[in-house]
Structure 1
Amino acid sequence: MVDPHRPEIWFGVQDLPKEQKQRPLALAPDDCGHLYVVGAARTGKTSTLRSIAVAAAQAFSTADVHIYGIDCGNGGLLPLQALPHVGSVVQRHQVDQVSRLLAKVRGELGRRQELLAAGGYSNLSELRAGATGEARPSQIFVLLDSWDGFLNALEEAEGGKLVETVQYLLREGASAGIHMVLSGDRQLITGRMSMLSESKLAFRLIERSDYTSIGLNPRSMPDEIGDGRAFSADGGIETQIALVATGLSSQEQAAHIRDLGAALTRRDAAVARPNRPMRIEEMPVQLTYEQAAAKYQVLELTPGDIFLGLGGDDIEPLRVNLLTGAPTLVIAGPPKSGRSTALAAVAFSAMGNGYDLVVAAPRMSPLRQLAGHSQVRALLTDADELTQERLSPLLTGVSRPTLFLADDADLLRSIEADLWLRGLIPHAAGSQVGFVVAGDTESIGKGFSGWLVEMRKNRQGVLFRPQSMTDGDVVGARLKRSDVGVDLPVGRGHFQSGDGVLSVIQIPHVHDLSERVPR
């Protein structure tokens, strides 16, 4: 049934009564486009997506087929994460992960379009035929379970960008080897979506008239259509979808997929990492410095590096270097959003990497726990102490990397050393001195002059819980409407490294700074 020299994804049986025979229902990755699986609830749509994924994993190496899932139903795709071919399965409440997954796939589409154009290829099959090893792109399948659930949860997210991205992948993806398999109700076969895929499978529909939307005659459809039984849009061929395993409950099928995943992982153990699917890691809701260090080796820093937290598209360590890069970092947010937590994490990482500290903390702050530490050159708790006479010997002519940290910096706008700092900060690059301040977004972002204005000019910082579109000005970045007014976990914010692009970041919590800083 399957040509071993041209493997297919076999996931059902088609009945051809006029010819008195049956034939397999299969997808050939080199030839197929996209597929809609349409029907009422509990008719077999999710099972179809699962069967396609399992059949693809059995027929192809992990290097040749990569699978991603967006589960907007009841979690039926989650067991697929056991397969080595599956990069990630994300759910509709994981808006950030859905966004990052679609952005990564869209980025991969752009990369492949450039490769096709540069080599004069018309499609991915031609490109794959002339490439080997790490240079041979995989076929990608994106399984989206419940288009109606996707719209209900994510239609307005990021100003409609996620829906637009799915539609873009449907329009442009097939020739580049990116195949969308969507399940859903009649919303898939009406309006703009109906025109973006020619291949459709219709399960039992609530309204018989809806069969006309995929080219089927409602009068010719059976009165009773069993679960797992579908009809193809091209000719109304009756099809029985194959189950992952027959006679098993949902839990038993999940266990079967896990066992299969373990076997396929052993089979494909030799596949190189670059030829494996992308992983879309989940941002931790809470993070300690120890957890980050254990998993991501964040203590392996080059001279001058300061570990800030985990973030970006790949949930990787985000660092700044205030000695070789921009010498300032602004941390802004409303009260209890994580500003002081971030400042403590900066202090912890900086001291572990050889910085001396000059600390200003006019209110109670975790930084006051550093009193008496050998690397703390001064701990100033009164705004009146921040004078040029006091700060000049601490921040000029230094022989060791030195970091000036100020918590509640909005209370330090009018210090005596203001004019002196205004002249020092713009010329701090390369001087062994860096500056990090934390304060209330509204207050720290005010004014057109002053030392805090100089801090903002490098457009590098962390912004917590923005309440208006203009809050992004504090770190020199433009916010999206979906970024504003969101109640994020403490320590979750947006990082801007000077390029105008915001990355989501989770700052680690340092418990009892006085005990945990290396001495």
Structure 2
Amino acid sequence: VLSIATAARLAGVPAPRRPWLPELAAVYDVATLGAQTDAQLVLGVVDVPAHQEHRTLHYRPDDGSIVVFGTGGSGKSTTLRTLAADAGLAADGDPAAEGGPVHVYGLDFGAGGLAMLECLPHVGSIIDGSDHERVARLLRQLRETLEERSARYAQARAGTIGEYRQLTGRSDEPRILLLLDGLSAFRDAYESEVGRAAMFGAFQRVVAEGRPLGVHVAMSAERPGALPTSLAGSVQRRLVLRQADENAYGVLDVPKDVLGPQSAPGRGVLGGTTEELQVAVLGGSTNPAEQAQHLERLAARLRAAGVRDAPPVRRLSSFIERTSLPGSVGGMPVLGVADDTLAPIGFEPHGTFLLAGLPGSGRTTVLGSLSAALRTFSPDGRLYYVGNRRSPVHGAGIWTDVAVTVDEVTALARSLVPDLTESPVSGMGIVLVIESITDFLGGPAEQALTEAVKAARRADHFVLAESETSTWGSAWPLVSEVRNGRRGLVLQPDHLDGDALFRTPFPRMARAEFPPGRGVVVESGKTRRVQVPVAG
């Protein structure tokens, strides 16, 4: 054989055509596999033995969402990163090419494999799975996008985002691609968790209704059972990478003999087919550090080309100055900034309002801030303070009168009762602020304060009372009179506080999610997270 090969080489005999193609490479550079648009993103290279060719494989978002199944190290996160890079390459292509921008968002419930995408201008935000605030905000925004686009596309009689762009001339209408890395972990955190199940419902709606509205989902999962039946019917494409359990291939409708333990990362098969494929990566490197460098270079190129930044998913600030907020909202004094809208919200200055929280939760600061808000709302109003001399709230300089000793408290409360029995003619009535209300229980001032609170509540004046959370469970009449209003603010709450203080259930929540000054406000049986500003 060696002699024949040597003779053929010396004689210049051309090599015969092989009856089969070489094996797929272990890695391909997605940037070298042809031009792409937002409607046709390069996924990789597929081996088609029947036609003796290797073809570029595309993911077409208008065909529906896609789920990538694979065990650890099989290339799931890399596949999602490739789709995000594709969206940037589409924007970096021929300006005359058809298509439009893509805004990419990511929910990283895995090992942080999506974090490197945040440098790209078309990537709005990559949100860690532990950041429940921003996860919920992103899903709410996507749900609102569906509702808004549904009406707009119906009016234009458009069945897809491409048709809408053509019919209206709005070529800048962005396609939205949501990447979810770690479907199982996402389900564990949201599917059945009290207070979070609505967000899982929003995600289901995005998957089910997003395709014709230009909102698409690419998600990863380790095993077939991670995709619930509630989503399975809405996910049209399945990419199967290496599996830990050989039986999973049959469940996912791919041959068992194509992939194995030694398969390269990114090697896979599309569900329902038999052809082997290799997912491409930006830069053609399997090294994550080198991939990150290629992404940074792509980001610089896109910004130089004028690609606009996608809107980020903002976070509720843990420090807000009151001077940055308006003096009133909807004809009410400002309570703070709501978590769901990131906009100021107000509170009704009538009846009783309970302020509770743990030590170190910012109760004193919040009490001072709410008192300042009441004074700003009603510069000529009658504000009275009952508390202790050491409190900074006492020295705020906004009070009509103050009482810090037992005798002063008793006298002030008794003097206010006649006025508190008369309903305010208009606007805000008399305001009575009581700091550390449980300090007065069992003392000489308790009866006078109870009569004053009772009169204020019945005549629609306003009582703002503060104390530590654990003390509000007392059965004393003074405490009960405030608590019976069933409204207030709990800082750094526990999910049990809702039923105990307001007879309103709270969702499960971690106190680590609540910095000082942040809590749950209860009004009319409804709850809302809010950050109270500091006075200043």
Question: Shorter chain as normaliser: what TM range?
Answer: 0.7 to 0.9
SS at match of 1:84: coil
Name the SS for the 1:386 alignment partner: helix
* Structure 1 residues 432-511: aligned runs within 5 Å: 435-441=463-469, 444=472, 453=481, 457=485, 460-467=487-494, 469=496, 471=498, 474=501, 477-480=504-507, 482-483=508-509, 488-496=514-522, 498=523, 500-508=525-533
Query: Which range moves more in the overlay, 416-425 or 18-27?
Result: 416-425
Matched, 1:313 2:313: no
Question: Unaligned regions of 5+ residues in structure 1, if any?
Answer: 511-516
Displacement of 1:412 in angstroms is 5.5
Shift in CA distance, 351/423, structure 1 to aligned 2, threshold 3 Å: closer
Q: Is the 8 A contact 1:308 1:317 kept in 2?
A: no
The 2-side partners of 1:187 and 1:346 are apart by 52
Q: 1:450 to 1:409 in 2, by over 3 A?
A: closer
Deviations 1:80-102 (A, max 9, x none): 22223222211122223223322
Change (3 A) 1:210 1:119: same
1:513 alignment counterpart: none
8 Å CA contact 1:332, 1:439 repeated in 2: yes
Q: Contact 2:259/2:267 (CA < 8 Å) preserved in 1?
A: no
Q: 1:157–1:5: structure 2 CA closer, same or farther, 3 Å change rule?
A: closer
Aligned-partner Cα distance in 2 for 1:297–1:11: 51
Q: 1:245-260, aligned counterparts within 5 Å? A: 245-247=283-285, 249-260=287-298
Match of 1:514 in 2: none
User: Quick one: which of 363, 367, 387 aligns to 1:343?
Assistant: 367
Identity %: 23
Q: Are positions 1:144 and 2:160 aligned together?
A: no
Residue 479 of structure 1, CA deviation: 2.3
Question: CA 1:385 to 1:21, structure 2 compared with 1: closer, same or farther past 3 Å?
Answer: farther
Residue in structure 1 matching 2:103, options 52, 61, 66? 66
Checking the alignment, whether the CA contact within 8 Å between 1:407 and 1:438 is kept in structure 2 is yes
Decide which of 209, 215, 231 is 1:172's aligned counterpart. Answer: 209
Q: 1:22 aligns with which of 54, 68, 83?
A: 54
What letter corresponds to residue 94 of structure 1 in structure 2?
D
Aligned residues: CA RMSD? 4.1
192-201 vs 436-445, which moves further: 436-445
Task: Give me the whole-angstrom Cα distance separating, in 2, the residues matched to 1:270 and 1:122.
Answer: 26
Residues 149-173 of structure 1 deviation map (CA, whole Å, 9 limit, x = unaligned): 3345555533661544434433333
Distance in 2 of aligned mates of 1:151 and 1:509: 37
* Structure 2: distance between partners of 1:301 and 1:261: 42
Aligned to 1:298: 324
Distance in 2 separating the partners of 1:339 and 1:361: 13
- Whether contact under 8 Å (2:224, 2:252) holds in the other structure is no
Taking the aligned partners of 1:488 and 1:73, their CA distance within structure 2 comes to 24
Whole-Å Cα distance in 1 between the matches of residues 113 and 40 of structure 2?
Answer: 23
Aligned-pair CA distance for 1:43: 1.8
Uncovered stretches (5+) of structure 2, i.e. residues with no partner: 1-32, 93-98
* 2: CA distance, partners of 1:84 / 1:178: 18
Asked if structure 1 preserves the Cα contact closer than 8 Å seen for 2:456 and 2:462, the reply is no
Question: Quick one: distance in 2 between partners of 1:469 and 1:80?
Answer: 39
> Is the Cα contact below 8 Å between 1:456 and 1:476 reproduced in 2?
no
Q: Which residue is equivalent to 1:103?
A: 140
Tell me the TM-score normalized by structure 1.
Answer: 0.77
Amino acid across the alignment from 2:412: L
Report the more deviating stretch, 7-16 or 383-392: 383-392
C-alpha separation between the residues in 1 aligned to 2:339 and 2:513? 19
Q: Is the 8 A contact 1:231 1:238 kept in 2?
A: yes
Q: Is the 8 A contact 1:307 1:317 kept in 2?
A: no
Assess, with a 3 A threshold, how the Cα gap between structure 1 residues 340 and 350 changes in structure 2: closer, same or farther.
same
Aligned residue-pair number: 484
Given residue 340 of structure 1, which amino acid in structure 2 is its aligned partner? T
Q: Say which one has the larger Rg.
A: 2
Question: Which secondary structure does the structure 2 equivalent of 1:347 belong to?
Answer: helix
Asked whether the equivalents of residues 34 and 174 of structure 1 are also in contact (C-alpha less than 8 Å), the reply is: yes
State the distance in 1 between where 2:361 and 2:501 align.
16
Q: How does 1:188-207 map to 2 (within 5 A)?
A: 188=225, 192=229, 194-207=232-245
SS in 2 for 1:179: strand
Of 234, 239, 246, the match for 2:277: 239
How far off is 1:70 after superposition? Answer: 0.8
Asked if structure 2 preserves the Cα contact closer than 8 Å seen for 1:72 and 1:144, the reply is: yes
Of the structure 1 ranges 171-180 and 37-46, higher mean CA displacement relative to structure 2 is found in 171-180
1:368 counterpart = 2:394:
yes
1:38 alignment partner in structure 2: 69
Give SS of 1:358's match.
strand
Which residue of the other structure, out of 309, 315, 320, is the alignment partner of 1:282? 315
Q: Which residue is equivalent to 2:19? A: none
Q: 1:487 to 1:103 in 2, by over 3 A?
A: closer
| 1:407 paired to 2:435 | yes
Q: Does the aligned pair in 2 maintain the 1:403–1:436 contact within 8 Å?
A: yes
1:211, distance to aligned residue in structure 2 (A): 1.0
2:86 is matched with 55
How far 1:69 sits from its partner (Å)?
Answer: 0.6
Over 3 Å counting, the alpha-carbon distance change for 1:148 and 1:483 in structure 2 is closer
Amino acid at match of 1:298: S
- Residues 477 and 73 of structure 1: CA distance in aligned 2, closer, same or farther (over 3 Å): same
Name the residue aligned to 1:224.
262
Structure 1 residues 406 and 18: alpha-carbon distance in aligned structure 2, compared to 1, 3 A threshold: same
Contact 1:442 1:471 in 2 (8 A): no
Deviations 1:400-420 (A, max 9, x none): 997532212345674425445
Structure 1 residue 254, shift from structure 2 partner: 2.5
The question of whether the paired residues in 2 share the 8 Å contact of 1:189 and 1:213 is answered with no
**Deviations, residues 49-101 of structure 1 (Å, cap 9, x unaligned):** 01101111231499732221111111111122222322221112222322332
